[in-house]
Structure 1
Amino acid sequence: MPSLPWKMKRPLPGFHAVATISAAVALALPLTGCTTLHTTAPSAARADAEDAALRAGFGAVDCRKAKCIALTFDAGPSEHSARLLDILKEKKVPATFFLLGKRHIEKYPELVRRMAAEGHEVASHTWDHRILTRISPKEIREELRRPDEAIERLTGQKPTLMRPPQGRTDDTVHRIAREEGLAEVLWSVTAKDYQTDDSALITRRVLQQSSRDGIILLHDLYPGTVPAVPGIIDALKERGYVFVTVPQLLAPGKAEPGTVYRP
């Protein structure tokens, strides 16, 4: 098993030791300090799109009509990502990958290329999973720029989306993300797969929370997560859901830099 950043190991003092609290805080308003987090729902992004974009078309899935949901994975690539990509290819399901740079992008460049080549959205989860609200503006910018540059070198495309570690964000992060051309993407469904390797439990948690326009948060670096994915996909398809990437969920709207998206 590859060595993971200390923040990702169990027990993880910088990441998982506060995971239960931070997961709740990340979805609460306000998040940090006196900042009030204003988020944009996918349905609002679609409604705000120009008529010209509607006429031009935006792919096979129209989430204004279809029951869409987005499957997203944080903190990869990892030793489990190749198997995950095999599953997604077999199931014909696109996903959005929020990748870490240090010890991940730099360790598995071929998987980053494969993600992009197979039609998945490749985005950033920062370089070293530092909590952005606790570091200087200069450090925030470095955490955002380094993975973007690495991804662009590997895929030819600069990311337009990022997910702040633990969902922690504030006005300073918004400003720098906007300047770097990045929208922030939070989530509505979490399996807390950092707490368990029980794939059946991970599946149940996702299914209990899923709803239309949902954004599912999973981590493909934990051993219990990837085995849960086929069951999650099959069960949600049976319920009439269509899987899309985050940009497809927003279409015909587009992700606006500096905006925070959450269902």
Structure 2
Amino acid sequence: MPSPTKKTKRSTIAFRAASLGVAAALLMALGGCGRTDTTTPSSARATDVRARFGTVDCRQAKCVALTFDAGPSEHSARLLDILAEEQVPATFFLMGRRHIDRYPELVRRMADEGHELANHTWTHRNLTDLQPDQIREELTRTDDAIEELTGRRPTLMRPPQGRTDARVHEICRELGLAEILWSVTAKDYATTDSDVITRRVLSQVSRDGIVLLHDLYDGTVPAVPGIIRVLKERGYVFVTVPQLLAPGRAEPGKVYR
């Protein structure tokens, strides 16, 4: 018969293993993407030397990409003014209902001023909760609207809340869309304090960073000039997501962070 001491040790080991399993599962859930494999910008650049360069070679320059979700909104015109003044390109992940259809002139302006336009679904529903036909509708309807306004169909998308899975990957591959997540977030949906937003971004940014912001919240656009100024002082060069990946290209169905 096993001794009480051995039984206690086995129980302790089992408890610790179970606790680690719970912690790992919780971390995956909080991360939004579970076990999704992601590709870094530096890895993407190494995959295809045949593609054309953007205006910046991020293999040499210290690049960062500003991205804005869930616009356009009433704040987007001011944001575009700031980006034009600072000569900074951005990537806009646009939402359809009550955004693209409400501000078509801003969508056209974004494209005309050289920004990258991408897909953030039509209604911002969690794609992992939807059936395949519903996922296709969310993405296709947004792609169609952007193409109708700009003449160019998006090749990038960002899943709402970063929630994605194998089924979303497959449908994105079918539709010619790569999934773009982020490496820096200000959580600007939770504060209207522009100084807080600025500090959060600046404390997280590193080379090849993909910064997640939202141009529909009151505190975000006022934070952008300070973010740009400090990052320029630190030697960063601002690029769109495709420029960040060049000379590689975002491959449909793959996830980049």
TM (normalized to structure 1)? Answer: 0.86
Q: CA deviation at 1:58?
A: 1.3
Q: Describe the shift of the 1:70–1:77 C-alpha distance in structure 2 as closer, same or farther (beyond 3 A).
A: same
Structure number with greater Rg is 2
Letter in 2 for 1:211: S
Give the letter aligned to residue 81 of structure 2: D
2:22 equivalent to 1:27: no
Q: How far apart, CA to CA, are the structure 2 residues paired with 1:189 and 1:172?
A: 26
* Structure 1: gaps spanning 5 or more residues: 1-21
Tell me if the contact between 1:131 and 1:166 (Cα under 8 Å) persists in the aligned partners.
yes
Give me the whole-angstrom Cα distance separating, in 1, the residues matched to 2:124 and 2:54: 33
Other-structure match for 1:49 = 48
Deviation of 1:49 (Å) = 1.1
Q: What is the DSSP-based 3-state SS (H/G/I as helix, E as strand, rest coil) of the residue aligned with 2:70?
A: strand
Deviation at 1:236, TM superposition (A): 0.4
Shift of 1:60: 2.5
- Contact 1:95 1:120 (8 Å CA) reproduced: yes
Partner deviation per Cα, 1:150-201 (whole Å, 9 max, x = no partner): 0000000000000000000000000000000000000000000001000000
**Which residue is 2:86 aligned to?**
91
Query: C-alpha displacement at 1:27, in angstroms?
Result: 3.4
Shift of 1:207: 0.1
The letter of the residue matching 2:163 is: R
Matches within 5 A, 1:187-206: 187-206=182-201
Aligned to 2:227: 232
Map 1:1-263 onto structure 2 (within 5 A).
Answer: 25=29, 27=31, 31-32=33-34, 36-50=35-49, 52-53=50-51, 57-262=52-257
For 1:99 and 1:174, locate their aligned partners in 2 and report how far apart those are by CA, in whole Å.
Answer: 19
Would the aligned equivalents of 2:55 and 2:243 in 1 still touch at CA under 8 Å?
Answer: no
Contact 1:132/1:140, CA 8 A, preserved across alignment: yes
8 Å CA contact retained: 2:177, 2:252: yes
Runs of 4+, deviation exceeding 3 Å: 22-28
Question: Residue type of the partner of 1:47?
Answer: A
* Rounded Cα–Cα distance in structure 2 between residues aligned with 1:26 and 1:171: 18
* Contiguous gaps of at least 5 residues in structure 2: 1-25
Deviation per CA, 1:98-148: give whole Å up to 9, x if none: 000000000000000000000000001000000000010110000000010
Q: Which letter maps to 1:46?
A: R
The Cα of 1:26 is off from its aligned counterpart by 6.0
SS at match of 2:250: coil
How far residue 252 of structure 1 moved from its aligned partner, in angstroms, is 0.4
Shift of 1:48: 1.0
Give the direction of change, closer, same or farther, for the CA distance of 1:26–1:99 in structure 2 (3 Å limit).
Answer: farther
SS at match of 1:40: coil
Identity percentage of aligned residues: 73
Question: In 2, are the aligned partners of 1:76 and 1:98 still within 8 Å (CA)?
Answer: yes
- Give distance in 2, aligned partners of 1:105 and 1:192: 23
Asked whether the equivalents of residues 185 and 201 of structure 2 are also in contact (C-alpha less than 8 Å), the reply is yes
Cα distance between partner residues in 1 of 2:38 and 2:58: 19
Corresponding letter in the other structure for 2:250 = A
Rounded Cα–Cα distance in structure 2 between residues aligned with 1:214 and 1:88 = 18
SS in 1 for 2:190: coil
After TM superposition, the structure 1 stretch with the greater mean CA deviation from structure 2, 149-158 or 41-50, is 41-50
1:23/1:91 Cα in 2 relative to 1: closer, same or farther (>3 Å)?
farther
TM-score scaled by length of structure 2: 0.88
Partner of 1:19: none
The separation in 2 between residues aligned to 1:104 and 1:230, in whole angstroms, is 24
Give 1:76's aligned amino acid.
G
Q: Quick check: which one's helix share is greater?
A: 2
Tell me how far apart the structure 2 counterparts of residues 157 and 39 of structure 1 sit (CA, whole Å).
26
